[in-house]
């Protein structure tokens, strides 16, 4: 980075890009003080800030690579920044500062992507994104009735709410910016001339990355945040079937296999048993096999394994007070404490839980070894949903003594680390597969697979099928190579239920993602299930065969992910950066370099338009029709034939061509 001083300021350049420009009249940094109000209700936050001070730091003193900032000449410096390579380190010289704003130079036609796993907007320009791990909300669109009703239960959410925020963005100017801080932060991309970053603390540092191409930039980021291992081999055998029907799950699995469904795993989240509440069936949050709901499960798992099918379960970082693990953890002091030093108890809706304190190394070790290691891996599980991570209450006392408001965002990564450590302890890294919805900076290093969280069972713009693509693309740019989602969506509320069409459209998108996994949803009985409708079942079976057919190709993508850090699902611009028409596309993606997938994400779409990037010749998979790139084409998209194209020059062309026969 290059520092250029001016009479009353400086500019900071990265390979000729001006990133910071400071003068007394147009300062780059503001500091101040705020008093926040943060109310959590079951993972949903109501956050309000009362800013009592925001001061421009107009005066700077530059000494070598160190710049001191004060409000005016002659006043005491309040902040110091030091340049080191492409990093800017910050040091507060004033204890009263708890708000920090920095303005990064922007260009009019600049696009920005990232922010963690964003569900609504891939290109973040023009909007403001608070970055705070939470429930993403139901509906997530203030103009819809479902969001309104959910908001009445404090759970409606908005476009920026996500389980996995990350204060990192990639700019079309071919640089990336990362804020190293776990504090609440906001990326504000609404201004023409600058991006404003707000942090509720003076951040440790801001990192810049730059590269001549997007691909190289993404490679860098994936090295910075950590790479995932390749997918386990067993995954390629087919879909992971999600059933939570007790012992019926096994016979239902057989029915599906008999219908031609290719299966790699059976996922029963109810393996821990259930609890009846007025809301309906909930899982029993005590992480071990439940003999009542699954008698002889250990043997059943062995039987399944012999048929080439793995068994997956469920775990989250809480322990219910009426489970057998709670007293053990409490006696050992493994839980986060309340203000009076007692075990902090969190209400999850008619049952209470303790929060295992992962900042206490012994607690983390115990959870990894005794819970996940011994009761899950040793029992025979090959994977699990590692649920939650977003709910750390902001008023608990933690073992490391750090304010829970600062640990809240850090929690998903700690949670991922506990899971990864357990897997590694059994030598099963790259073999056991857990998947998470929550995340934050560094989750990449530990979590082998993201899942897109709890979409609504519909085609809605901000909470339906289409959001999963945005999630895969945004998180993928930041080093999360593997993404997948609940086939058919999850959340069914206020009479909103799955249609067969939705289930089929979702499955045919999932066939072109790293992992196919079905879910019965939050209300299995109110919603159609794959095995309940012959048309849906046969469509699903075909999609699993497509997935398996593509396995050799997917393996090469998985290798690329491990060696280069490239995500399996990629924005079109990643391989077509000179075609700016690709920059805003978020409802189509490249599946590796060679396949372009444009899922149907609305109801009753007999055809859909697809933009084909220029400089390539594209072949429509189902008809074999050939198209020049650089144009928008509209192709038929009946159920079973979502718009998918391959590069004519692909080395996998024959494989792709054969898809039409499946």
Which string of b and e fits 70-103 if b means at least 16 CB within 10 Å? bbeeeeebbbbbbbeebebbbebeeeebbbbbbb
Q: Which is nearer to a second copy, 31 or 320 (CB)?
A: 31
In contact, 310 and 266? CB cutoff 8 Å: yes
393 binds a second copy (CB under 8 A): no
46 binds a second copy (CB under 8 A): no
Q: Which of 348, 350, 424 is nearest to 387 (CA)?
A: 348
425 binds a second copy (CB under 8 A): no
Catalytic site residues? 387, 390, 454
The interface with a second copy within residues 1-30 (CB under 8 A) comprises: 30
Rounded to a whole number of angstroms, the minimum distance from the CB of residue 499 to a second copy is: 25
Rounded to a whole number of angstroms, the minimum distance from the CB of residue 131 to a second copy is: 18
Q: Which tokens hold the place of 334?
A: 């493994």
Would you call 43 helix, strand, or coil by DSSP? coil
**CA–CA distance, 619 with 577 (Å, rounded to integer):** 21
Q: Which tokens hold the place of 109?
A: 């036609």
Q: Which is nearer to a second copy, 196 or 322 (CB)?
A: 196
75 binds a second copy (CB under 8 A): yes
44 binds a second copy (CB under 8 A): no
Q: Which is nearer to a second copy, 8 or 204 (CB)?
A: 8
378 binds a second copy (CB under 8 A): no
- To the nearest 5 percent, what fractions of the chain are helix, strand and coil? 25, 30, 45
* H-type alpha helices, 124-270: 145-152, 214-225, 248-258
Q: CA-based angle 484:489:494, to the nearest 5?
A: 155
Binding residue (CB under 8 A) for a second copy from 29, 44, 55, 344: 55
Rounded to a whole number of angstroms, the minimum distance from the CB of residue 159 to a second copy is: 16
Binding residue (CB under 8 A) for a second copy from 145, 254, 347, 628: 145
152 binds a second copy (CB under 8 A): yes
**CA–CA distance, 24 with 287 (Å, rounded to integer):** 58
In contact, 49 and 199? CB cutoff 8 Å: no
Q: Which residues have CB under 8 Å from 590's CB, separation 6+?
A: 569, 570, 571, 572, 574, 575, 596, 597
Binding residue (CB under 8 A) for a second copy from 95, 143, 307, 339: 143
95 binds a second copy (CB under 8 A): no
Residues near a second copy (CB under 8 A), total: 18
Binding residue (CB under 8 A) for a second copy from 39, 53, 350, 362: 53
Q: Which is nearer to a second copy, 64 or 74 (CB)?
A: 74
146 binds a second copy (CB under 8 A): no
Q: Which is nearer to a second copy, 419 or 456 (CB)?
A: 456
Binding residue (CB under 8 A) for a second copy from 10, 148, 194, 494: 148
**CA–CA distance, 179 with 207 (Å, rounded to integer):** 6
Binding residue (CB under 8 A) for a second copy from 32, 77, 500, 524: 32
Q: Which region, left, alpha or beta, applies to residue 151 given φ > 0 means left and ψ of -120 to 50 means alpha? A: alpha
Rounded to a whole number of angstroms, the minimum distance from the CB of residue 54 to a second copy is: 5
Region of 45-53, 211-219, 322-330, 415-423 interacting with a second copy (CB under 8 A): 45-53
Q: Which is nearer to a second copy, 148 or 348 (CB)?
A: 148
54 binds a second copy (CB under 8 A): yes
The tokens 């159609």 sit on which residue?
Answer: 528
DSSP state string for 93-136: S-TT--EEEEEEE--TT--EEEEES-SS-SB-TTSEEEE-B---
Rounded to a whole number of angstroms, the minimum distance from the CB of residue 52 to a second copy is: 7
74 binds a second copy (CB under 8 A): yes
State the residues that interact with a second copy by CB under 8 A: 30, 32, 51-56, 71-72, 74-75, 142-143, 145, 148, 151-152
């Amino acid at each position: 980075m290059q520092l250029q001083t001016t009479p009353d300021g400086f500019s900071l350049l990265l390979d000729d890009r001006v990133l910071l420009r400071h003068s007394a009249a147009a300062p780059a940094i503001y500091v101040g003080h705020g008093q926040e109000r943060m109310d959590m209700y079951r993972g949903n936050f109501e956050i309000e800030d009362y800013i009592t001070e925001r001061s421009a730091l107009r005066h700077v003193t530059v000494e070598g690579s160190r710049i001191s900032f004060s409000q005016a000449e002659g006043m005491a410096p309040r902040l110091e920044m030091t340049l080191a390579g492409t990093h800017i380190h910050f040091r507060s010289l004033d204890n009263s500062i708890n708000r920090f704003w920095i303005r990064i130079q922007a260009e009019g036609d600049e696009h920005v992507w990232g922010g963690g796993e964003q569900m609504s907007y891939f290109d973040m320009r023009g909007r403001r994104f608070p970055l705070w791990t939470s429930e993403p909300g139901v509906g997530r669109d203030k103009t819809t009735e479902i969001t309104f009703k959910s908001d009445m239960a404090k759970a409606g959410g908005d476009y920026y709410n996500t389980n996995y925020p990350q204060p990192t963005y990639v700019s079309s100017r071919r640089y990336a910016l990362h804020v190293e801080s776990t504090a609440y932060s906001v990326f504000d991309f609404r201004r023409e001339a600058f991006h404003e970053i707000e942090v509720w603390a003076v951040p440790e540092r801001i990192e810049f990355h730059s590269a001549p191409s997007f691909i190289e930039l993404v490679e860098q980021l994936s090295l910075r945040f950590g790479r995932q291992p390749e997918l386990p081999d067993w995954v390629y055998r087919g879909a992971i079937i999600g059933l939570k029907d007790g012992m019926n799950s096994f016979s239902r699995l057989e029915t599906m296999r008999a219908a031609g469904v290719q299966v790699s795993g059976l996922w029963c989240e109810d393996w821990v048993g259930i609890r009846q509440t007025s809301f309906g069936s909930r899982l029993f949050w005590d992480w071990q096999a439940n003999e009542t709901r699954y008698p002889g499960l250990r043997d059943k798992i062995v039987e399944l394994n012999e048929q080439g099918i793995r068994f997956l379960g469920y775990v989250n970082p809480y322990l219910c007070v009426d489970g057998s693990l709670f007293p053990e953890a409490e006696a050992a002091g493994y839980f986060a404490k309340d203000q009076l030093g007692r075990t902090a108890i969190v209400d999850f809706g008619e049952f209470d839980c303790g929060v295992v304190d992962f900042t206490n190394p012994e607690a983390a070790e115990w959870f990894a070894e005794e819970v996940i290691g011994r009761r899950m891996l040793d029992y025979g599980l090959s994977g699990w949903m590692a649920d939650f991570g977003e709910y750390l209450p902001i008023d608990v006392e933690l073992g490391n003594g750090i304010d829970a408001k600062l640990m809240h965002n850090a929690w998903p990564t700690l949670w991922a680390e506990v899971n990864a450590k357990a897997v590694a302890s059994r030598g099963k890294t790259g073999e056991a597969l857990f998947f998470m919805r929550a995340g934050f900076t560094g989750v990449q290093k530990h979590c082998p697979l993201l899942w897109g969280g709890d979409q609504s069972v519909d085609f809605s713009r901000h909470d339906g099928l289409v959001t999963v693509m945005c999630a895969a693309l945004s998180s993928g740019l930041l080093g999360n190579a593997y993404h997948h989602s609940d086939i058919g969506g999850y959340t069914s509320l206020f009479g909103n239920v799955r249609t067969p069409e939705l289930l089929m459209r979702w499955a045919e998108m999932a066939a072109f993602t790293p992992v196919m996994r079905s879910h019965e949803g939050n209300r299995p009985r109110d919603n159609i299930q794959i095995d309940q409708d012959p048309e849906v079942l046969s469509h699903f079976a075909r999609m699993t065969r497509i997935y398996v057919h593509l396995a050799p190709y997917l393996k090469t993508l998985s290798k690329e992910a491990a060696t280069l850090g490239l995500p399996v699902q990629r924005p079109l611009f990643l391989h077509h950066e000179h075609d700016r028409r690709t920059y805003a596309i978020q409802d189509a993606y490249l599946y590796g370099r060679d396949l372009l997938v444009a899922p149907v994400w609305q109801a009753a779409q007999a055809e859909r338009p697809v933009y084909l990037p220029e400089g390539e010749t594209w072949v429509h998979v189902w008809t074999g029709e050939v198209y020049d790139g650089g144009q928008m084409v509209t192709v038929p998209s009946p159920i079973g034939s979502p718009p998918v194209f391959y590069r004519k020059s692909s080395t996998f062309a024959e494989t792709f061509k054969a898809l039409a026969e499946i």
